[in-house]
Each structure stands twice: as structure tokens, then as C-alpha cells.
Amino acid sequence: MIEQTDALTSPTLKHLRGQWWTDAFTTFLAETLRPKPGMRILDVGCGTGTAEVNLARLRLSQLDLVGVDISVARVRDALTATRYMNATVGFAAADARNLPFPEASFDATFCVAVLQHIGEVSKALAECARVTKPGGKFLAVEPDNAARYWFSSLPSGMTAFEKGQRFFAAAASAGRETAPAAVGALVPGLLRAAGIEPLSVRLFPVFASALAAPPAELWEKRRNAATAGIETAADDTVRALGEEYRAAIEDYARAAEAAGPAFVEIQNTLLVATVGQRED
């Protein structure tokens, strides 16, 4: 079971950058952006520097990588991760909706699993277009969280999923504005208004399965996720839904243990990779 695909710990693929990134995805990124010596490339929502570390391994000389993230702590971690790399890398704390760069500063711009956390998706896309040179490539890779598929061989598993979806949805609507669940599928249709010509769309399936009862560590992660959501709930109504969800997880864990080798759990969703080009 891979954490970022677990619908019982999160309604989104928020852990994608740190755990899903593979050599194959780095190859896709490089083939899309076509980094060459002398290029400046911007990573919007760089997290802890995953992209920069992987791109630097391509050993392209004179490549200037710049990453921004709204979290100062993540920017510090990215600086640490890239400190001894043989590459020109810079980081800054910044909001994707207000990038601190002049117009046409970068040869290419990309963001991975970032727009799903931003309510003003169109504004963030417009900023990405603004700082990209005319003719420069743009890449956005975002999940379609509305397309999550869940199957459990146990009725209690289906109940836990349903209660989790209600709890997560209530928590999101009571908190700050977030992007639509289907943001990955919506991006291609939003690009032209931002000044980016859409060129292609590629789908990356993200999935997980379990045969036989999952280990105790997974159930602990699921309990902890429910508890964290309850503790940060905006009101009593959301907290009540969280308590129901946590109880459903306990029921599911007991039933899974009893089912033993007969237990089956399958889940998947899609990442939508949209490639565009800044209009002249």
C-alpha cells in the first residue's frame, strides 16, 4: 500500500512529490521540457526539491533551476537536499498566485501536484504563463481526485470509504478555498485563458492493492489521519463526521483481521499531465 494513494488517509494525492516520483517520471519531465545548457527552468511548488535533485542527475551543464514553494520550511529542506549538487539551483518562498519574477524570466515552467491545493487555479496558471518566455513550455501534472476508485471485499471497507469521503469533503468546505477535485482534468481547458496553448495530455495511473489483511502500520496511519482531521475540524458538525469515520476505520480493521487471506482492497486514481506552450 502506497501512502499517497490511500483514500482513507487523504482525499488528494498530497504526498505525491516525495513518494511517487520515479526515474520514468524524470525522463518524462526532461522529454517534455527539453532542458538544455543555458536554460532557466522554474518549478512552482517545489516542495523539498525532488524535481531539482532528479533533473540535476541528468548532468546538464549551465542549467539554471529555480524552485518556489509557499512553505519556508520546505524551501529550507530543498536547499539542504541540493546543497552539494553540481548544478545551479536556487529557491525562494513564494505564492504560486504571485510569483516574484519579471515577465518572461524562464524558458520553461512546471508544477506537479500543486494546483490541487490552490483555490484560484486560473490565477496561478496566469502567473506561470507570465513568467514563461513566449514559446516556452509549460507542464502541469495534477490528480483527478474526483475519479478515485475504491473497492473492498468487506462491507465495512465500503462504509469506511464513504464516511471518509463525507468527512474530508465537509472539512474542506469548512476550511480555506481549495481547487475542484477534478482539477487535473480541468487544467487543459483553462490554459488558453491564461495565455498558454495546450499541446498534449497524458494520463498516469496511480494505484495500490492489498491481498490479505494489511499490516498494523497502515491501520495506525489511517487512525492518525482521522484523528488529525478531527483535531483541526472547524466546527462540531465536522468533528462528529470525523468521529464516525474513525469508528468506521476501527470496524474495518477488525473485519480485515478476521478475513485474513480472503481480504482484498483495490484503489486507484489518475494524474493528468498537461503540456502547453506560452503564446507569442
262 Cβ contact list (under 8 Å, min separation 6): 153
Rounded average pLDDT over 144-151: 88
Rounded average pLDDT over 7-20: 68
Cell 524524470 belongs to 26
152: confidence class by pLDDT, cuts 50, 70, 90:
very high
* Residues of the chain above pLDDT 70, percent: 93
Beta bridge partners of 207: 268
**pLDDT, position 18:** 53
User: Which grid cell is 240?
Assistant: 462528529
User: Helix, strand, or coil here: 43?
Assistant: strand
37: confidence class by pLDDT, cuts 50, 70, 90:
confident
The amino acid sitting at 230 is: I
42: confidence class by pLDDT, cuts 50, 70, 90:
very high
CA angle 272, 275, 278 (to 5 degrees): 140
DSSP H helices, the chain, are 16-20, 23-33, 50-56, 72-81, 121-131, 155-174, 183-194, 216-231, 236-259
* Residues of the chain above pLDDT 90, percent: 62
Name which of 13-22, 42-51, 117-126 the model is least confident about.
13-22
Enter the CATH code of domain 3-278.
Answer: 3.40.50.150
Question: Rounded to an integer, what distance in angstroms lies between the CA atom of residue 6 and that of residue 111?
Answer: 22
Q: In the sheet that 106-112 helps form, which strands lie side by side, from edge to edge? A: 88-93, 64-69, 40-44, 106-112, 132-152, 264-278, 196-211
| 166 pLDDT above the threshold of 80 | yes
175: confidence class by pLDDT, cuts 50, 70, 90:
low
**pLDDT, position 3:** 44
Question: Rounded to an integer, what distance in angstroms lies between the CA atom of residue 89 and that of residue 187?
Answer: 28
> Regarding predicted confidence, which is higher, 86 or 219?
219
Sequence spans of domains, the chain: 3-278
Taking the complete model, does pTM exceed 0.75, yes or no? yes
Instruction: Answer for the pair 235, 174: CB distance below 8 angstroms, yes or no.
Output: yes
> Regarding predicted confidence, which is higher, 84 or 133?
133
241-259 per-position pLDDT tens digit: 999 999 999 999 999 999 9
**pLDDT, position 17:** 54
> Regarding predicted confidence, which is higher, 59 or 190?
190
> Backbone phi, then psi, for 41, in 5-degree steps?
-125, 130
The amino acid sitting at 226 is: A
1: confidence class by pLDDT, cuts 50, 70, 90:
very low
> Regarding predicted confidence, which is higher, 206 or 210?
210
Instruction: Answer for the pair 139, 273: CB distance below 8 angstroms, yes or no.
Output: yes
**pLDDT, position 2:** 41
| 177 pLDDT above the threshold of 70 | no
> Regarding predicted confidence, which is higher, 232 or 163?
163
Rounded average pLDDT over 252-274: 94
11: confidence class by pLDDT, cuts 50, 70, 90:
confident
Question: Rounded to an integer, what distance in angstroms lies between the CA atom of residue 46 and that of residue 59?
Answer: 19
Helix (H) or strand (E) holding 62: none
74: confidence class by pLDDT, cuts 50, 70, 90:
very high
Q: How many CA atoms lie within 13 A of 246 on its CB side?
A: 17
265 Cβ contact list (under 8 Å, min separation 6): 1, 151, 152, 153, 157, 209, 210, 214
**pLDDT, position 275:** 97
